[in-house]
Amino acid sequence: MNIHPTAIIEDGAVLGADVEVGPYAIVGREAVVGAGTRILSHAVLDGRVTLGERNVVGHGAVIGAPPQDFAFDPDTETGVRIGSGNTFREHVTIHRGTKAGTTTEVGDGNFVMVGVHFGHNARVGNRTIIANNCLLAGHVEVQDGAVLGGGTVFHQFMRVGRLAMVRGGTRFGKDIPPFCVADGENLLSGLNAVGLRRAGFSGESRLEIKRLFKLVFRSGLNLSQALAEAEALAWNAEAREFLDFLASAKRRGVCAANQRAGAGEAGED
């Protein structure tokens, strides 16, 4: 281990092999830090934080601070659980859960850029890219492979589906379905064709998803009607994932699609 003499490691903290702790960093007594993790200068691990292996916690980042919830009781036992291979850049903040026994959770291989905030009980999957100053309110879910543009804000309890791409500098309060591009306030412009190709989706799968997207968002039916019609048809696994996500969007509703002529069609193969 390489621990700077100005760092504070509280009694009870558990550090794995080859952990690095930089100047003036603080590792709280309930923290568990996996092997090969680097905690850079002035970073803070507060409360019940569990980090897997090979994570980077950037300068001034704070993980595990109490939630920003007026009803939170400081004596409530909650935490943050993080997987392996993540990068959290400077001044990222991740707050712990708000109800007893709950956690804020982050998976593996995520790249989280400067100034990002994860509110209490957020759920972030694997291999996401979250650009500078994105703000995730409490209970937001971001699924695997999503890409969130900088400066974007996400309302509590909403979801961002797998391999979705979200334009920076906007705000969302409704669910963003998997495989879609969202580029306006609660608006979709089409499918993330480039992302689907890079993820290895076959041409047949991409066409099936496109067919379902058009049925749901460009047929002139309302969402309930479109889902009822779609349920009567056979779909491949990826299109079925898209459909199941839409059907489960009860709390916040789903973003609408831009209805301009031809909007979002270019590159949707």
Q: Are residues 92 and 25 in the same domain?
A: yes
pLDDT digits (tens, 9 = 90+) for 126-157: 999 999 999 999 999 999 999 999 999 999 99
Position 260 scores a pLDDT of: 59
- Distance, CA of 145 to CA of 124 (rounded, Å): 10
| Domain stops at, among 138, 158, 192 | 192
- Both 187 and 200 in one domain: the answer is no
Last residue of a domain, one of 163, 192, 221: 192
Structure tokens that stand for 29 in this block: 């007594």
Indicate whether 208 pLDDT > 80: yes
Classify each residue of 20-40 as buried b or exposed e, where b means 16 or more C-beta atoms within 10 Å of its C-beta: bbbebbbbbebbbbbebbbbb
Same domain, 168 and 187: yes
Say which CATH number the domain at 218 has.
1.20.1180.10
pLDDT number for residue 1: 85
Single out the residue of 178, 112, 177 nearest to residue 148, CA to CA: 112
Q: Are residues 166 and 225 in the same domain?
A: no
pLDDT of residue 264: 43
pLDDT at 251: 82
Residues 267 and 105: their CA atoms lie apart, in Å, by: 34
176 plus 232 within the same structural domain: no
How does DSSP assign 31-60, residue by residue? -EE-TT-EE-TT-EE-SEEEE-SS-EE-TT
> How far is Cα 39 from Cα 25, in angstroms, rounded to an integer?
7
Its sign, for the CA torsion 101, 105, 108, 113, is negative
Residues 116 and 169 both lie in one domain = yes
Q: What pLDDT, in 10s, does the model give residues 81-125?
A: 999 999 999 999 999 999 999 999 999 999 999 999 999 999 999
**Are residues 133 and 90 both part of a single domain?**
yes
115 and 132 Cβ atoms separated by less than 8 Å: yes
Let me know whether 31 and 161 are in one domain.
Answer: yes
Residue 78 has a pLDDT of 98
What is the count of structural domains for the chain?
A: 2
Residue 236 located in a structural domain:
yes
Task: Determine if the pTM surpasses 0.85.
Answer: yes
User: Is residue 141 within 8 Å of residue 123, measured between CB atoms?
Assistant: yes
Task: Please give the residue range of the domain that contains residue 214.
Answer: 196-257
Residues 213 and 163 reside in one and the same domain: no
